[in-house]
Structure 1
Amino acid sequence: MCYAFTMSLRLIKRDAAEAILRQNGWLSYQLEAFQKEVLRRSILVNLAPGELVFGFGEELGGIYGLVSGTATINTAPPNHIPQLINVGAPGAWAGEGCFLARQPRSVELRALVETWLMYLPLEQMDEMADADPMVAYNFGQIIMTNVDALIRVINDLQRVDPDRRIASVLQRAGWIGEHPLPLTQSEIGTMARASRRQVNAALKRFAENGWVKTSYRSVTILNSEKLRIFSTEDD
């Protein structure tokens, strides 16, 4: 599996990064005192395109929250090649498995473009949990947000029509607005369980309808609502 987290690129200041995470995703649902403690203990990190955040099988580590840029999360069952399946939003967090299960990384996180992340080290998570055992409940909620996203991905992949699967992939990234989504047709095909030829044909039809605009190695989503309606129609 692979999740891509995307947002417009810019130089991020610490206060702006914290505001993004306070207003989006898992951390936005937590009490203010918990938010402040997580951010106080976290480190703002910048990654170059292609840089590995953490790899499959790596030793225990903390959690990362997406501030801006695009990162892919790749995973698969044992003895299978990791695959990309989803595009997430600012405020998405990953890496909670080390804290919850005390096992090595089961996914790979890699920057697709220049990316800013907030990193909360595992030892800081442990200190918070030692001071207040209920903190484990807060961190456990991260996995539930990721499960919810995975349920939608599975539902979308069960559609018979490849055009609707492709539309679902693009619609899930519609929150980025009219900014290029830096995914190739092959990557979109992997996410949609479709061939490159099917993706190429679908994108041409979507472009003719005014729903997307295509360019080299990227797609710009112009009408996410139309993609949503089309993707949810009966096959």
Structure 2
Amino acid sequence: MSERGWLPLLPEAFRAEVLRRSVLQHFAPGQPVFHLGDPPGGIYGLVAGTVSVSLAPSGASPRLILLGVPGHWTGEACFLTRKPRRGELRAVTETTLMHLPLDAIDQMAPRDPQVVHHVALILMMSVEFLFRVIHDLQKPEADRRVASVLQRTTWIGEETPIPLTQSELGVMANASRKQVNAALKRFSKAGWVTNAYRSIMIADPGALRRFAEGDEAD
């Protein structure tokens, strides 16, 4: 956790205290970590496995936005706003998370004014990612939106099956099941992906990226 994601960007003393105060928690596939509307809680860092992050504006149901990768942290809004959870975090595969409780952060903050800035950095990293999501969703062609989602999920790791169904991929790409199926057939024929039951293997992430950005011929 000290080598990727949020923690490596921060001072050594702060990293050490986060690691000392955090607790490892294990989740089975499909098990929720927290739900929309849950009381305020601490932050979670992904050590191993895969989690899904679903978000929603006020009054709406959460929709799948991204799959977390090791080193990814979330849950910072509760510390910053003291409001209930604004989304849902759920284990997709066997998952290990590092949990820094809210009261632990509250104990750290009075002794170090920079703690608020350190936690806010998680928020800004999330905002940067959401900029990418918005950019991808504005592409008019459904197959390029699908390619964009697949290319983003390769951050999980090379040669690792992407644990997404066609329906879930459609939600993330704002595409119909028919559009997703057509795109996957096209990408499979080109040798870019291998489509299996409830998972997709990325064979050529570079080709997907070029196609998603319009650098690959139609």
Q: TM bucket by the smaller chain? A: over 0.9
* Residues 1:103 and 2:88 aligned together: no
The residue type paired with residue 115 of structure 2 is: V
RMSD: 1.2
What does residue 208 of structure 2 align with? 227
Q: Secondary structure at the match of 1:173?
A: helix
Deviation at 1:78, TM superposition (A): 2.7
Pair 1:192-2:173 in alignment = yes
Secondary structure at 1:66 match in 2: strand
In structure 1, the residue matched to 2:33 is: 53
Of the three residues 40, 59, 63, the one matched with 1:79 is: 59
Higher relative CO (Cα under 8 Å, sequence separation at least 6) belongs to: 1
Q: Which amino acid aligns with 1:128?
A: M
| Matched residue type, 2:178 | R
Structure 2 gap ranges (5+): none
Q: Contact 2:166–2:180 (CA<8 Å) still a contact in 1?
A: yes
Aligned with residue 103 of structure 2, among 117, 123, 134? 123
**Residue identity (%):** 54
Report what 1:112 is aligned to. 92
The equivalent residue for 2:190 is 209
2:147 pairs with 1:170: no
TM value normalised by structure 2:
0.95
How far the C-alpha of 1:210 sits from its partner, in A, is 1.1
- The corresponding residue for 1:180 is 161
Contact map agreement 1:50 1:111 (CA 8 A) in 2: yes
Gapped regions of structure 1 (runs ≥ 5): 1-20
Give a deviation string over 1:71-101, Cα, whole Å, max 9, x none.
1111212332211122332111110011000
Question: Given the alignment of the two structures, is residue 157 of structure 1 paired with residue 156 of structure 2, yes or no?
Answer: no
Letter in 2 for 1:28: P
**Which position in structure 2 is the counterpart of 1:17?**
none
Rounded Cα–Cα distance in structure 2 between residues aligned with 1:108 and 1:89:
16
The alignment of Structure 1 onto Structure 2 pairs a total of residues equal to 215
**What are the superposed Cα offsets for residues 105-140 of structure 1, whole Å, 9 maximum, x if unpaired?**
111111112111000000110111011111111111
Q: Distance in 2 between matches of 1:78 and 1:30?
A: 32
| 1:11 aligned residue | none
Which letter does structure 2 place at the counterpart of 1:186? S
Q: Distance in 1 between matches of 2:62 and 2:94?
A: 22
CA contact (8 A) 1:93 1:142 kept: yes
Is 2:46 the counterpart of 1:63? no
Q: Secondary structure at the match of 1:194?
A: coil
Q: In the alignment, is the contact (CA less than 8 A) between 2:23 and 2:98 conserved in 1?
A: yes
Runs of 4+ residues deviating >6 angstroms: none
Contact persistence 1:88–1:172 (CA under 8 A): no
TM-score for both structures, normalised by structure 1: 0.89
